[in-house]
Chain A
């Protein structure tokens, strides 16, 4: 079993829909990252969080440390949101490395 599991693996939505991507992890962590990867490979860091909730524009990320679960929400989705969304955790053993989920491929149709 992977240490970081994301669901769903693939997601197709219509423009304007509310989208939720989930991430569960099995290790102790010091931080959790949500990353966005567009075709061509470039990765953008969306959020880094260790507790609670963060919001940036139409994106919201939450984390429940006790339940070892995080969610990424996209409100009023748009075709330009189409990308791979990756959850990554940093273990609390402070090894510096990130452990990645397998990614969720999102396609938003106009």
Chain B
């Protein structure tokens, strides 16, 4: 069974540009979660999608947005990039809307903003 996949592995952008990160969940999983791991700050919750709807978001500005497609894959978009957006972005998936189910993580996308 294929795990959670993310693309690209690495992404280099300059300040002010937009970044798009992609995530494909494990087959059968309907929930996708996005997390940011900035250097020295630990993991922080960004967004939760289930069945195509945003269910919850963390304390991030509106520049961070995303969507979930009918096949349950997801995109994270970061507009007007700032230097502090440089981080590892992790996607996780789980089945069911309960939010209590185990999450399986992808390998991450490392975003560097110059």
Interface, chain A (partner B; CB < 8 A): 30-31, 33, 35, 41-45, 48, 86, 88, 90, 94-103
Contact = CB atoms under 8 A, between A and B. Distances in A.
A101 B110 CA distance: 21
Contact of A95 (B99, B102, B104, B110): B99
Given A94-B99, A98-B33, 15 more contacts: A41-B88, A41-B90, A41-B110, A43-B92, A45-B105, A96-B31, A96-B48, A96-B50, A96-B55, A96-B99, A97-B56, A98-B35, A98-B43, A98-B45, A101-B42
Q: Which of A48, A97, A98, A101 has the most CB of B within 10 A?
A: A97
Interface of B: 31, 33, 35, 37, 42-45, 48, 50, 55-56, 58, 88, 90, 92, 98-100, 102-105, 107-108, 110
Given A96-B33, A102-B42, A103-B42, A43 B100 contact: no
Contact of B43 (A30, A31, A48, A88): A88
Contacts of B107: 41-42
A98 B103 contact: yes
A97 B58 CA distance: 8
A68 B37 CA distance: 25
Contacts of B31: 96
A79 to B, nearest CB: 22
A43 B42 contact: no
Q: Which of B56, B92, B99 has the most CB of A within 10 A?
A: B99
B42 A97 contact: no
Nearest to A47: B102
B100 to A, nearest CB: 5
A45 B103 contact: yes
Q: Which of B45, B92, B98 has the most CB of A within 10 A?
A: B45
A99 B45 CA distance: 7
A41 B42 CA distance: 12
A88 B90 CA distance: 15
A102 B33 CA distance: 19
